[in-house]
Amino acid sequence: MNMKMLLALVATAAVAITAPSVAGTWSMTVDGGPHGTLKMALTLKQEETKVTGTFASPHGDMAVEGTFENDALKLATGEGSITFTAKLKEDGTLAGYLSSEMGDMKWIAERVADKDRK
């Protein structure tokens, strides 16, 4: 293996390690709906740009899927009745809009600390 190839592999690995991810459990605050401010949750898995997971709301758990690219998250429930858009901010929070038949609502989310992580 020559030096250029080795450097290219190291650089590629460094980018993959430091690439932002939305995987994990998020505590959401949704504001602007008919019921006032509500606490909800997102549990997400990420493989490259594909994101899947569960949206936990007062109406029950719903599967979500979408993408995360260039710090932008786009998700939709299986039926497409609820869509989410958000940006991953520098402080590690997500902020964006949730759209449903009840209208557009602002939401923010903070990652829930992994209790098993030391």
Find the CATH number of the domain harbouring 50: 2.40.128.120
Total domains present in the chain: 1
Q: Do the domain assignments include residue 4? A: no
Q: Do the domain assignments include residue 103? A: yes
- 28: containing domain: 23-111
Could you tell me which residues come within 8 angstroms of residue 16 by beta carbon, excluding any fewer than 6 positions away? none
The reported pTM is 0.79
Q: Do the domain assignments include residue 92? A: yes
Average pLDDT over residues 72-95: 94
Q: Which of 66, 111, 74 has the alpha carbon at shortest distance from 91? A: 111
- For the chain, count helices (H), then strands (E): 1, 8
Q: 24 — alpha (psi -120 to 50), left (phi > 0) or beta?
A: left
Q: Do the domain assignments include residue 10? A: no
Q: What is the mean pLDDT of the chain?
A: 86
**25 SS3 class:** strand
Q: Do the domain assignments include residue 59? A: yes
pLDDT higher at 1 or 107: 107
Task: Find where tokens 């497409």 sit.
Answer: 80
Q: Do the domain assignments include residue 14? A: no
Other CB atoms within a 10 A radius of the CB of residue 22 amount to: 21
Q: Do the domain assignments include residue 2? A: no
The pLDDT > 90 percentage for the chain reads: 65
Query: 84, 105 in Cβ contact below 8 A?
Result: no
